[in-house]
Amino acid sequence: MTLSTIEIHEFSTGIKPQKTADGWVSLGFIGQYMNVTIDVIPHIIERSIANREFAVAEGAASDQRAAVIGRVLGTGEETYSVLAIVTRGRDEKGRSASMYRYFFTQGSDGVQNLRYILAWWEERQLKFDPFDIKEIGKPHEYHINHENLQKQNLIDDKTDEQVILPPANKFDLININALASKKYNKNKNGLGISWAYNVEALEKPERFLVIQAASEKAYQILQQAINRTPQVLAPVQLDEEAIKSAIRGLMNSSQVKPANVKVIADALQNEEITSKYWHTLFNGQGAKQAIDQRIYSPQMVRLITLRAVVIPDTMLEFLKWLNIKPGQKSNDTQQVSLEFQKAIRAGLPKDKLANSIKFLLPELLKKSSSITPEAVCWLLKSNDSVWASSYQEFVNDVIYDLQLIVNSLKTNVDLSSSYKCDPQVWATFNKYKNLIYSTHANHNLEEYTPFAKLFEQLGNYELAAYFYQVSQGLVPKKIFLRLPNSYNTFTLHWIGLELQREVTILELIIYYLFYWRYIVPIQFVVILSICLSILSFSGGVLVGKFKPGNNGGSQSNNTATTPPANNNETPNRTDDLELGIPQDKLKTALADFDSKTKVALEAIVGKNKDDKDPKVQKLKEVLKVNDFKYQEAIKGGNNNEETQKLINAIYKYQQLQFPGQQNENKWDGIIEQNKDTFKKLEADVN
């Protein structure tokens, strides 16, 4: 004979009981469990109960026979086998209520442990009894006699799906448990071992693999309930009540609790939760009604804002509902939304927020778009916006896709499956990529103009210039001149595309007067001089693509060009044109080189290093400059050409690492220990 022992803990619905001649009545619930044998009830059991996974429909428990519900919860060593006995109780006024007595044991073999609890319970037939007093630390001990365990007589059910058994087919608890175990091992819907026995109705019948109906009427009710159950169900491993509670807590209070934000953030990382399921949760709190009836109470504003954060496909509806218009200050409704966004943004995953913004890009491409670049900019640029924190991720994803398009052109391989943005965003781009990236062809894709305007307003002038070139065939002068190394040149290259600056009539006149004067008739010079005088007051207008060359004609599109220097000027090695860094910043960087940049570089690569040192070589690679001598550069000095090359490389590195107008204060050609440039460069070199 084989014997072993398991511990069975228990707890019951907490009430204030009063004895009567025929038993007891309840004087009310006390808000906590009673007759508990363990200090802390396992969290997974408490949440399953809170999610109504053991609940019979109120009033459905039988007076004659108890309903029995079995579940296996958790995984590994944190697996719990739970048995709930449900009986009908009454209060002092005769009103009925379902009372629960729970028994559970811990162990990785859940189905077998549930069988042991059943065997133990069937010997005792314990039901809810508020006067069956229990003490913490004194669980039941069950000595298992394996040879005497009731034999299983498996039910002949060949399907893998959920089954409701009619009352005519009465099976014992051991075989109901065995059938649920069999279905669990074969089913594909993710339900754990779960069954309900002798029940009239259940609050969540869809959460059970096997249900034994208590009566014919109960059988029909359960069948109808299953048929009515929405197809959009919460994943099994999900605390549905916790999410609902978090949504209610966030929408109904102006004081945001971090715990509620964490619940939402954790749920966002759960890939099993579908958009449709999220919609059911938000509509359950009134989201659809708020949108349809344009209800702008603070509670609804917070709800619709949270919905946009959680469900990317509602972003467009969110912006239209808020009615954001170009040039207008935020109204009261928008301000409530921004205050809420600011309060929740720290606890939310940035990659999910970036996906929300990317969801709007296809809409921006439409000719009759219902949103504007200004509205999207409002989301990304407002200081309090939750989406502002994902700005860099959004920009990086756009650049990543553009680089993929260039790579696909070079390799002739379709890389659209790897796009970070929706492939439809780049459909037209891909169609005409051969023309877009050709330096000898013009094909303007005007539908991408909103992208250019969006990035211009965001202060990302690289992407603004890129999309102006794609959509208009030229980059506006005011945008072009904000690009790195744009001084005294009409073309630049970025991500495989030649960016061509607009040229004004004024610039053309200056060019012809001072560069072609030796072949231009004197009469034409007089006329141009008069035009120049007039335009010096009016500013000039765009005339199209024109790149002055060194041969008096149009220059090849393959190289950046600059107007010739004035013959009276002597070229200077430290001129902006050659170094890229402005003169005032260069002077400051040279002055601070010994005390800041040199100290920082030696902290990164070490002291007394030469150009052959691996770290120095890596430094040159990171800074994208190989034509300077490190040993000479590190000596410093205002007239040291190598030092100036190094400072210029640092300046360009800062522009690349910290793009956008908002980061211009970081472009100084200086590296200072423990500052942003130092941290980034140190990480890149290491």
Task: Check residue 230 and give its pLDDT.
Answer: 58
pLDDT over 60 (residue 564): no
Where residue 172 falls (left for φ over 0; alpha for ψ -120 to 50; beta otherwise) is beta
H/E element holding 502?
A: none
Find, among 280, 271, 257, 238, the residue nearest to 352 by Cα: 271
**pLDDT tens column, 207-238:** 899 999 988 888 998 888 887 765 555 555 67
pLDDT score at 306: 95
Gyration radius from the chain CA atoms: 37
Mean pLDDT of the chain: 82
In the block, which residue shows the tokens 């500013």? 539
The stretch 396-408 carries a mean pLDDT of 93
Residues 125-144 pLDDT 10s: 999 999 999 999 999 998 88
Q: Give the count of alpha carbons within 13 A of 26, CB side only.
A: 18
Percent share of the chain, pLDDT over 90: 31
- CA–CA gap between residue 36 and residue 140 (Å, rounded): 11
The tally of CA atoms less than 13 A away on the side-chain side of residue 17 is 18
pLDDT, position 441 = 56
Between vectors from CA 26 to CA 22 and to CA 27, what angle results, nearest 5°?
A: 125
**In the prediction, which pLDDT does 203 show?**
86
Asked whether the predicted pLDDT for residue 56 surpasses 60, the reply is yes
From CA 577, how far away is CA 565, in angstroms rounded? 11
CB 16 within 8 A of CB 26: yes
β-pairing, 140-145 with 3-12?
A: antiparallel
Q: How far apart are CA 664 and CA 81, in angstroms?
A: 61
Tell me, what's the pLDDT at 563?
A: 33
The structure's pTM equals 0.55
Question: Taking 80 as the threshold, does the pLDDT of residue 36 lie above it?
Answer: yes
pLDDT for 484-514, tens place per residue?
Answer: 888 778 889 899 899 999 887 777 776 666 6
Residue boundaries of the structural domains of the chain: 3-228, 240-386, 432-569, 576-685
Residue with tokens 């009567």: 20
Quick one: tokens of 217?
């009427």
pLDDT band at 379, cuts 50/70/90? confident
Cα distance between the two ends of the chain: 66
